Structure 1
Amino acid sequence: MKKAIIILLVIVAACFLCANLNYLMSIIDAMQGGALIPLVIACIIMVARHVVQAMSYNEAFGAVGQKTGLWHNIVLIFSLVFINTFCLFSGATGVAFIIDDAHRKGLDIGTSTSGAILS
């Protein structure tokens, strides 16, 4: 079953790339014509922002008694960015995702909500 899902995802990703190839090429052309150093600096700053936000979640949930690993939080933050991009509800969807993740790890809903609000 997992293999079938992975194959399906690869097919969907290939179709997405083929459908948007013209758009992707225009992005590549813009990057080639633009200044490379500001683009690299912007990418580094965005990754650093996500790492700092993951550290914030780590400390916020530590304050309510739940220690999470930094790598888990980094993956969680990138998942939140993806979710908040497609579900535009002012970040509420991402907060619900954080609360659900903490609840699955054994925290009650109130403590999970407190940790999400603290961060």
Structure 2
Amino acid sequence: MSVRPPRFFDRHHSTGLNVLEYELLSERADALGRHGLKVEKALEQLRERTAAGCGADQRQALLDAAADAVWAFFIQREICGLRDQRDLIRRYEIPKEVLARVGIVRKPEPGRS
């Protein structure tokens, strides 16, 4: 009795490496989608609470949160080989105030770690 791989593997010349590459690409795409949802949520909160008349401190916190989400999204896109962020900025309508804060590392507030 001879043993041979299933025809599916034979037809596509699939190896363990191809399967791993597929899984890695799938995870990158999934992560990209999750980061996009986080950006949408952060920008939506910023717009809603600003329109509702939130205080200056709360607005600064919302701007910081949105900038952090955008920064993480930019990094994830670069990992996927997408280097141009202009379309993303237009599509998500990212405010200039948020873009100005992208990548800034803030000092922790006194009493917080």
- Whether the TM-score (by the shorter chain) exceeds 0.5 is no
The TM-score, its normalising length taken from structure 2, stands at 0.36
Structure (1/2) with the larger helix percentage: 1
The TM-score, its normalising length taken from structure 1, stands at 0.35
RCO higher in structure (CA 8 A, sep ≥6) = 2
**Greater radius of gyration (CA):** 2
